[in-house]
């Protein structure tokens, strides 16, 4: 997170990455405040535009900074002080260009969940899911570069808790591998997954002592 502070090109690029990665968590929070999809999209884009223009992460210090908590507090303050019509008119950089259909489709996938969770819980869950996507995308890139994209596509299904996920024996048959080879490949994937997850979380805190707490928070959110 410290990389996103300051006036350098590197800092700006890091801050822009923060905006992209946290767009969905912030959007989910704004929606739960009662705004329509279009209003929430505009306000989310305005919030990140504000963050980019004001160098908002400069206020985060090593002794008190977790990016997840900082952005949640910031968007609460932003919404409390924003005039809906004025802020919705400002569309800024740092937000994906999403169609209304895409917004509604994603919301339908979580409609039952969002009906029961508070805005803060929705924000946390979207944060965890976004973080998970980042880790899986990095893993996918590594396996693709190594020429093992098909293996990754099958092994990643074992990471979830779905009851219909394939067995290691089934994957072995499909890929022409021994079951032991699949077991070892999955073990390596889990180790690398853990390393990348820790790396992603470490990039969101200013104090290394907070990494373990954020990891536990991440796991608790997904389990909940």
Three-state SS letters, 151-217? HHHHHHHHCCCCCCCCCHHHHHHHHCCCHHHHHHHHHHHHHHHHHHHHHHHHCCECCHHHHHHHHHH
For residue 66, the cross-strand partners are 205
Residue 91: per-residue pLDDT:
47
Residue 21: per-residue pLDDT:
83
Average pLDDT by consecutive 10-residue portion of the chain (224 residues)? 50 72 90 86 86 59 67 88 55 48 51 66 89 92 96 90 82 96 96 94 86 91 80
Residue 183: per-residue pLDDT:
96
Range of the domain at 29: 2-223
Residue 115: per-residue pLDDT:
59
Distance CA 136, CA 22 (A): 16
Residue 179: per-residue pLDDT:
96
Output phi, psi for 90, to 5 deg: -95, 115
183: its two tokens = 């077991």
Residue 185: per-residue pLDDT:
97
Total structural domains in the chain?
1
Quote the pTM value: 0.69
Specify whether the CB–CB gap between 81 and 121 falls below 8 A.
Answer: no
Specify whether the CB–CB gap between 158 and 166 falls below 8 A.
Answer: yes
Distance CA 117, CA 103 (A): 18
Residue 55 carries which DSSP code? Answer: T
Output phi, psi for 107, to 5 deg: -70, -35
Three-class secondary structure of residue 9 per DSSP:
helix
Residue 77: per-residue pLDDT:
86
CA 166 to chain centre: 26
Residue 93: per-residue pLDDT:
43
């Amino acid at each position: 997170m410290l990389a996103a502070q300051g006036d350098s090109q590197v800092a700006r690029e890091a801050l822009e990455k923060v905006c992209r990665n946290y767009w969905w968590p912030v959007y989910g929070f704004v929606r739960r405040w009662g705004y329509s999809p279009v209003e929430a999209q505009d306000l989310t884009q305005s919030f990140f535009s504000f963050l980019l223009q004001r160098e908002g992460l400069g206020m985060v210090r090593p002794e008190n900074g977790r990016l997840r908590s900082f952005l949640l507090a910031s968007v609460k303050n932003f919404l409390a002080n924003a005039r809906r019509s004025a802020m919705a008119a400002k569309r800024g950089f740092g937000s994906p260009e999403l169609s209304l259909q895409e917004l509604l489709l994603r919301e339908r996938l979580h409609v039952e969940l969002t009906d029961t969770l508070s805005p803060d819980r929705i924000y946390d869950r979207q944060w965890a899911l976004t973080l998970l996507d980042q880790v899986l995308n990095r893993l996918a890139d590594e396996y693709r570069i190594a020429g093992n994209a098909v293996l990754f596509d099958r092994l990643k299904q074992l990471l979830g808790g779905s009851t219909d996920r394939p067995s290691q024996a089934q994957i072995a048959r499909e890929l022409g591998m021994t079951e032991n080879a699949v077991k070892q490949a999955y073990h390596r994937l889990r180790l690398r997954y853990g390393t990348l997850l820790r790396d992603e979380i470490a990039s969101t805190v200013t104090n290394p002592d907070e990494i373990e707490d954020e990891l536990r928070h991440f796991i608790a959110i997904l389990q909940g």
